[in-house]
Copies of this chain bind each other. A is one copy, B any other.
């Protein structure tokens, strides 16, 4: 395979008969030029098909006009939406967004970030990552933000409050009259504990039972596989909350193929409000965690940090209950 070696600024300079500094200024539009020179440059660039090597440019300026986003799992629509939100804001502000998928593997994140860091002006990381990586990030000369449950004050974290999210859902479900709660959590996620705390906070005072289960992966399939464990118990819950919408949808599907009537025999609720939740049967009750807004906010903040502008006033993200038929026993 031939590699034609793309033209450099030097080639353009030579062809146009000027210095490389002139070419640089021309392509960056930093000065006015005599018509003669301008024409020659235009032509040389056109002929050679020259385009800037942004790597070299980044080396000397220290700016890349790119931002990196490391996300847990792109196949999860929640994250896709975060990415969409972030991407739009980035593009609107003249930045490019590079996304990497860490495949739910916290361990492998460090090399990914090491590769991403020098290529970007700022980093967004969508997980609570190990301390050594956080430390390394802190020593970087770049703004960094995290996605998820805000917890520490010294790092910027954008997301909804997991305790609040869970409590919101529990509150509504208690009011609906459910008596035996099941929670199919994902214990490998750090915020799982917060979710449980939020549930207990409401359920204990109300004197309502909570059974806790665990799924090995936050996916449809895993929810489906895990559902039988909880559905076939003698003390089967009358409502089951999934770690996220995907898990809830998987469980709901399995419940129906086991012959349960949803929501009458058993009700389901999820968390995230992914787009598809409206389209399953019955439509899934869930909590909107502002996926897209999360992406937008975090991107706005990181751009403000990069450009050393004042931080946008703290846009808080309020989770919102989305009530659909998967938890409604009587149609009003």
Contacts and interface: CB of A to CB of B under 8 A. Distances in A.
A189 to B, nearest CB: 19
A55 B119 contact: yes
Output the residue of A1, A141, A279 with the most chain B CB within 10 A. A279
A206 interface: no
Question: How many copies altogether?
Answer: 2
16 contacts: A1-B305, A49-B136, A65-B115, A74-B74, A74-B99, A80-B80, A87-B101, A91-B108, A96-B100, A96-B111, A96-B112, A97-B100, A98-B119, A220-B278, A253-B278, A276-B276
Contact of A141 (B4, B59, B305): B4
A223 to B, nearest CB: 10
Contacts of A87: 74, 101, 103
A145 to B, nearest CB: 13
Report the 8 A-B pairs with minimum CB-CB distance, sorted nearest first: A281-B281, A99-B99, A98-B98, A55-B118, A3-B141, A49-B139, A96-B115, A75-B80
Interface in A308-332: 308
Interface of A: 1, 3-6, 49, 51-56, 58-59, 65-66, 74-75, 77, 80-81, 83-84, 87-88, 91, 96-101, 103, 108, 111-112, 114-116, 118-119, 135-136, 139-143, 220, 249-250, 253, 275-276, 278-281, 305, 308
A23 to B, nearest CB: 17
B141 A5 contact: yes
A199 to B, nearest CB: 25
A75 B75 contact: no
B114 A54 contact: yes
A82 B100 CA distance: 13
A87 to B, nearest CB: 5
Given A54-B119, A220-B276, A279-B253, A84 B80 contact: no
A301 to B, nearest CB: 12
A72 to B, nearest CB: 12
A80 B72 CA distance: 13
